[in-house]
Amino acid sequence: MLFTSLKFVLFIVVLFVLYYTVAKHDQWPLLLVASLVFYYMQDYRFLLFIVITAVTAYILAIATENFAARRKAYLKEHKSEMDDTKKKKYKNTTKRVQALYLAIALLINLGILATTKYTNFIIENINALRSEPLSFANLIVPMGISFYTFQTVSYSIDVSRGTVKAQRNFWKFLLFVSFFPQLVQGPISRYGDLSQTLYEEHKFNYKEVSLGYIRILWGYFKKLVIADRLVVALKVLVSDSEMYQGGFVFIVMMLYAAQLYCDFTGGIDITIGIAQILGIKMAENFNLPYFSKNIKDYWNRWHITMGSWFTDYIFYPLSVSPTILKLSKWSRQHLGNAIGKRIPVYVACFCVWLTTGIWHGAAWHFVVWGLMNFAVIMISQELEPLYAKFHAKFGLKEKAGYKVFEIVRTFFLMSSLKLFDCYRDAGLTFKMFATMFYKPGFGSLGSSELLNLGLTSSDYIVAGIAIVIVFLVSLYKALKGRELREFLFEKYPLFLVACTVLVIVIAVFGAYGVGFDASQFIYNQF
Amino acid sequence: MEDLIEILKDLHADVDYDTCETLIDDKILDSFDIVSIVSEVDDKFDVAIPAKELIPENFNSAKALWALIERLMED
């Protein structure tokens, strides 16, 4: 059941009516049923995977919490009999038991993720080295497995750290893992955040429902009017790398930047909008990423929940681990203070980007994409003092023109890295990127070439106007610091006009029908 | 505390660490800075700051960070 299907829209309408009709204490059980039905309708076998993940994380979190409580009680009871050394010894022993519970939870859940997603990738690489190839495993990859596994892993770690309390009601926990809007493409919710509103009783709130409704429409507008239209031309452009080189690669870069943005942010708008009309608050996943001033800034604004997950559960634990700190100390003594200081950051950052690449997909081009991000971030980090001197000397930092330059530069940089996702082959991506410089051929790019890509001139006009609208709405947020829909809600007749116009535009200009295929979201494959 | 201020000054010399209480909220310190601070604190005070303590409340001001170091020294 695609988000873009009529079946899904009917599913939401029925759920919405039932949600505000049933007794308030039945709202979260209704959401659980709806989530399991939604998942069952994708493929009934998916349910088995998500239930195993939920059951193991649920049991081990309670075991961890119970063990921590017993440890605390024991220490309190034997306080007078234990000196500091004994206390420390007891603490260390019990910490190991707690770590074992966590390790089992992570091993099971990350093991399921790794087996389903990466087995065939491993076989493919082994086959490259063997004369007799191994046969590929016939595995199913449950929808959203990367997203719900990461949510569950963060829950297990947070309970182990004592930063959240374990959920004692299994059905409530299952709802956290399987809440249907986030199964398509995230965001990766944290239990501490989502649980605050997920199980609450919700009264019908006119403002929240209205804002959620317009956000859903805005998401469909970006997905159906722009993303699903542009994908037609993109498929043609990347299908023939011999024919479409030079200037065409630049067009791929621009079209994909627009398509991916509208596809991903559109899907997240639909997800968060659905949660909002049900009174549930989800974490934001974007904050004007194409207005970023540098690559670090970009990754604080694009797919925010994934970035913060990697920071909190890989980057920090790794960079402050005793091994890395020892390595840092050793490097300071033997290689100098400057290098020693950088070691923890560099090692942890490398691991983060390697795993980020692998998380995006079982393919070498994703690994290269991740490592390219690492390389650019490290180079920028090293050049920072130089930039600071440059800015100070020429007083550029606060100049509007220079800020625009930084934004445009970052946009092109990030769009070039996205080419790995288009061509899906690292070597080919480098080759195609290079053709932009040694045989650009921009002069020969005419309307006839563009009209051979499966789109009509009307399609280009519709997509062009829609992109300008998206840009202007983003610019409003950048300048005013709040969403345009909030302003429209205050000027109520305008709000109704905007909703009506959006419905008409989606119905008339949405990319479905002959030549188009309302498709799944790009991030659904991750 | 003076040693800690020195570590922080080394990262961003232009910040007034005596008064600033929004080092994380205002994005003055980023994740790279935090890791550098943890490494320097480990080196200078022989205090290992665990990952679970790497939360905004502990790094929003020099005072909060110093309180964390003192708490970890006592443990």
- The Cα–Cα gap between A201 and B66 comes to 42
Q: Is the pLDDT of residue A263 over 90?
A: yes
Q: Are residues A115 and A232 in the same domain?
A: no
Position A518 confidence tier, pLDDT thresholds 50, 70, 90: low
pLDDT at B69 (0 to 100): 94
Lowest pLDDT segment from A9-18, A170-179, B31-40: B31-40
Task: Check: CB of residue A185 under 8 Å from CB of residue A271.
Answer: yes
Q: Are residues A297 and A371 in the same domain?
A: yes
pLDDT at A296 (0 to 100): 92
Position A514 confidence tier, pLDDT thresholds 50, 70, 90: low
Lowest pLDDT segment from A121-130, A256-265, A284-293: A121-130
Of A323, A284, A98, nearest in space to A186 by CA? A284
- The Cα–Cα gap between A250 and A416 comes to 9
Look at residue A205 and give its three-state secondary structure: coil
Position A388 confidence tier, pLDDT thresholds 50, 70, 90: confident
Q: Are residues A162 and A31 in the same domain?
A: yes
Q: Which of residues 12-41 of B touch A (CB under 8 A)?
A: 30-32, 34-36, 38-40
Do residue B38 and residue A344 have CB atoms under 8 angstroms apart? yes
pLDDT at A299 (0 to 100): 94
Look at residue A301 and give its three-state secondary structure: coil
Residue in B35, B48, B50 closest to A348 by CB: B35
Of A264, A247, A294, nearest in space to A408 by CA? A294
Of A163, A187, A177, A148, nearest in space to A316 by CA? A163
Of A42, A36, A40, nearest in space to A3 by CA? A42
Task: Give the mean pLDDT of A39-51.
Answer: 94
Domain stop point among A204, A228, A255: A204
Domain-embedded: residue A488? yes
Domain-embedded: residue A59? yes
Task: Give the mean pLDDT of A239-267.
Answer: 93
The secondary structure of A354-387, three-state, reads HHHHHHHCCCHHHHHHHHHHHHHHHHHHHHHHHH
pLDDT at A516 (0 to 100): 61
Best to test chain B binding among A98, A287, A320, A381 (most B CBs inside 10 Å): A320
Cis before A29? omega within 30? no
Q: In this structure, how many other beta carbons lie within 10 angstroms of the beta carbon of residue A470?
A: 21
Position A399 confidence tier, pLDDT thresholds 50, 70, 90: confident
Q: What percent of chain A has pLDDT over 70?
A: 96
Position A294 confidence tier, pLDDT thresholds 50, 70, 90: very high
Provide the shortest C-alpha distance from residue A316 to chain B (in Å): 6
Domain-embedded: residue A11? yes
CA distances from A473 to A85, A100, A215, A374 (A): 62, 49, 12, 31
Best to test chain A binding among B32, B36, B57, B75 (most A CBs inside 10 Å): B32
pLDDT at A447 (0 to 100): 67
User: To which residue do tokens 């919700």 refer?
Assistant: A202
Task: Check: CB of residue A349 under 8 Å from CB of residue A378.
Answer: yes
Residues contacting residue A467 through CB under 8 Å, at least 6 positions apart: A226, A258
Neighboring chain B residues of A348 at a CB cutoff of 8 Å: 35
CA distances from A111 to A34, A186, A505 (A): 27, 20, 45
Dig out the tokens for A295 from the structure.
């690559």
- The Cα–Cα gap between A379 and A119 comes to 34
Domain-embedded: residue A233? yes
Q: What percent of chain A has pLDDT over 90?
A: 70
Residue range A97-116, pLDDT digits in tens? 989 999 999 999 999 999 99
Domains: count for chain A:
3
Q: Are residues A214 and A308 in the same domain?
A: no
User: To which residue do tokens 């507008």 refer?
Assistant: A221
Task: Give the mean pLDDT of A299-317.
Answer: 95
- The Cα–Cα gap between A325 and A318 comes to 9
Domain-embedded: residue A194? no
- The Cα–Cα gap between A237 and A215 comes to 32
pTM given for the model: 0.90
Task: Give the mean pLDDT of A455-483.
Answer: 95
Q: Are residues A103 and A173 in the same domain?
A: yes
Q: Are residues A354 and A483 in the same domain?
A: no
Chain centroid to CA A392: 36
Position A396 confidence tier, pLDDT thresholds 50, 70, 90: confident
Position A444 confidence tier, pLDDT thresholds 50, 70, 90: low
* Domain definitions of chain B by residue range: 2-74
Phi, psi of B12, deg, nearest 5: -140, 95
Rg of chain B in Å (alpha carbons): 11
Q: Are residues A309 and A424 in the same domain?
A: yes
The continuous run of DSSP H or E covering A68 comes out as helix A46-77
pLDDT at A337 (0 to 100): 77
Task: Give the mean pLDDT of A515-525.
Answer: 59
pLDDT at A336 (0 to 100): 82
Neighboring chain B residues of A156 at a CB cutoff of 8 Å: none
Domain stop point among A421, A445, A469: A445
Ranges of residues in chain B with a pLDDT under 50 are: none
Q: Tell me which residue range forms the domain holding A360.
A: 292-445
One-letter amino acid at A501 equals: V
Position A398 confidence tier, pLDDT thresholds 50, 70, 90: confident
Residue range A199-228, pLDDT digits in tens? 999 999 999 999 999 999 999 999 999 999
Give the number of C-alpha atoms closer than 13 A to the C-alpha of residue A275, restricted to the C-beta side: 26
Look at residue A241 and give its three-state secondary structure: coil
CA distances from A173 to A60, A107, A153, A465, A511 (A): 13, 19, 13, 44, 38
Phi, psi of A210, deg, nearest 5: -65, -45
The continuous run of DSSP H or E covering A269 comes out as helix A247-277
Give the number of C-alpha atoms closer than 13 A to the C-alpha of residue A332, restricted to the C-beta side: 16
Task: Check: CB of residue A220 under 8 Å from CB of residue A262.
Answer: no
Counting one residue from chain A and one from chain B, the pairs whose CB atoms sit within 8 A come to: 51
Q: What CATH fold (topology level) applies to the domain B2-74?
A: 1.10.1200
Task: Check: CB of residue A268 under 8 Å from CB of residue A219.
Answer: yes
pLDDT at A187 (0 to 100): 94
Residue range A58-100, pLDDT digits in tens? 999 999 999 999 988 988 888 888 877 888 888 888 888 989 9
Give the number of C-alpha atoms closer than 13 A to the C-alpha of residue A450, restricted to the C-beta side: 17
Phi, psi of A502, deg, nearest 5: -60, -45
Q: Is the pLDDT of residue A525 over 60?
A: no
Neighboring chain B residues of A341 at a CB cutoff of 8 Å: 36, 39-40
Domain-embedded: residue A287? no
Phi, psi of A340, deg, nearest 5: -55, -40
Residues contacting residue A388 through CB under 8 Å, at least 6 positions apart: none
Domain-embedded: residue A138? yes
pLDDT at A524 (0 to 100): 60
Provide the shortest C-alpha distance from residue A489 to chain B (in Å): 29
Do residue B48 and residue A325 have CB atoms under 8 angstroms apart? yes
Neighboring chain B residues of A332 at a CB cutoff of 8 Å: 43
Mean pLDDT of chain A: 91
pLDDT at A281 (0 to 100): 97
pLDDT at A521 (0 to 100): 61
Dig out the tokens for B19 from the structure.
């008064």
Do residue B39 and residue A325 have CB atoms under 8 angstroms apart? yes
Do residue A316 and residue B30 have CB atoms under 8 angstroms apart? no
Q: Are residues A277 and A299 in the same domain?
A: no
Q: Are residues A24 and A164 in the same domain?
A: yes
pLDDT at A513 (0 to 100): 59
pLDDT at A329 (0 to 100): 83
Dig out the tokens for A215 from the structure.
């956000």
Task: Check: CB of residue A218 under 8 Å from CB of residue A466.
Answer: no
Residue in B32, B40, B49 closest to A381 by CB: B32
Q: Is the pLDDT of residue A515 over 60?
A: no
Domain-embedded: residue A525? no
Nearest CA in chain B to A161: B52
Task: Give the mean pLDDT of A409-426.
Answer: 95
